[in-house]
Amino acid sequence: MSRIELHEITKVYHGTIALHKSNLVISEGMFVSLLGPSGCGKTTTLRLIAGLCEPSGGKMLIGDQVVFDLNQKIYTPPEKRNMGMVFQSYALWPHMTVFQNVAYPLKIQKHSKQHIQETVQTFLALVHLSGLEHRYPHELSGGQQQRVALARALIRKPEVLLLDEPLSNLDAKLRKAMCRELRDLQQRLKITTVYVTHDQQEALWMSDKVVLMNQGRIDQLGTPQELAHQPKSEFAKDFLSSRKEV
Ligand SMILES: Nc1ncnc2c1ncn2[C@@H]1O[C@H](COP(=O)(O)OP(=O)(O)OP(=O)(O)O)[C@@H](O)[C@H]1O
Ligand SMILES: [Mg+2]
């Protein structure tokens, strides 16, 4: 569990500003969604938090640790940030079974066989996949594959969980069920979570706070109720107009 702070963070790609100077504080244990239309900078923001790309300016803290500061030339690489990540394409290793995929982070940390066996079983139970440990990814449904990716992200006990449209390949019904499971899990583990989606229903339904983004800027930050009932800009009114019953 960790707090995330972005201070005047920017990202410029070859002259294109993907993220204008942005300030954002995500408190410990919160579930925060980054919401907005395609190209507004959601994935960029998540990748900056993960350390997968380097900001062009500003300062970032995770917990008490400064992980990026342009002025002080500090840049902590992703493997030193203790984060779990699940991306749009959940990228399981196709030649490994469910068990091997989930066990992998513990294996590279050189835990004992018995510890790995027990921990993998615990996390597979957590995502309702007990019994499928010997299957290969191609023998699983999309939702099951996403749950394997989630178990693999969680097994390292990350301080922060970063999810980029992790349910995008699922049909509406499974998506809803997975949303509920994800939110339950997050509340039980109390893990600081940043969830990227362009689906406002999902964002408003699951989050403690929603960050509405537009063209590389944070347009509005608020609770789901605030966003649904007090959209501040014309963009927010327009974007959120199709749903009010939060
Ligand atoms: N590696 C890159 N090089 C150049 N431009 C990039 C790169 N990655 C992203 N961009 C640009 O930055 C902007 C923000 O992209 P980003 O991927 O963050 O959007 P997004 O909100 O995640 O969109 P989507 O909902 O489609 O995934 C876009 O204009 C995109 O074209
Ligand atoms: Mg994206």
Per-position DSSP letters for 187-219, written without gaps between them: HHHT-EEEEEES-HHHHHHH-SEEEEEETTEEE
Q: Contact 31/195 with Cβ under 8 angstroms?
A: yes
The rounded Å distance from CA 59 to ligand 2 centre is 22
| pLDDT at residue 192, as a whole number | 96
Q: What are 208-222's pLDDT values in tens digits? A: 999 999 999 999 999
Dist CA 3 CA 26 (whole Å)? 6
Atom of ligand 1 nearest to the CA of 165: 27
Atom of ligand 1 nearest to the CA of 14: 4
Q: Residue 182: is its pLDDT beyond 60?
A: yes
The rounded Å distance from CA 213 to ligand 1 centre is 12
Dist CA 36 CA 150 (whole Å)? 23
The rounded Å distance from CA 190 to ligand 2 centre is 25
Measured from the Cβ of residue 87, the count of other Cβ atoms closer than 10 Å reads 20
| pLDDT at residue 89, as a whole number | 66
The rounded Å distance from CA 225 to ligand 2 centre is 24
The CA–CA distances, whole Å, from 5 to 87, 116, 163, 224 equal: 21, 33, 17, 21
Mean pLDDT for the stretch of residues 42-68 = 96
Mean pLDDT for the stretch of residues 171-188 = 86
**Nearest protein CA to atom 28 of ligand 1, as residue:** 39
Q: What are 110-136's pLDDT values in tens digits? A: 999 999 999 999 999 988 899 999 999
Q: Residue 245: is its pLDDT beyond 50?
A: no
Percent of the residues in the chain that have a pLDDT greater than 70, as a whole number: 96
- Predicted confidence band at 168 (pLDDT cuts at 50, 70, 90)? confident
- pLDDT: which is higher, 177 or 76: 76
Pocket of ligand 1 (CB under 6 A): 13-14, 16, 18, 36, 38-44, 198
> Among all ligands shown, which has an atom nearest to the Cα of 198?
1
Which amino acid belongs to residue 171? D
The rounded Å distance from CA 12 to ligand 1 centre is 11
DSSP 3-state of 32: strand
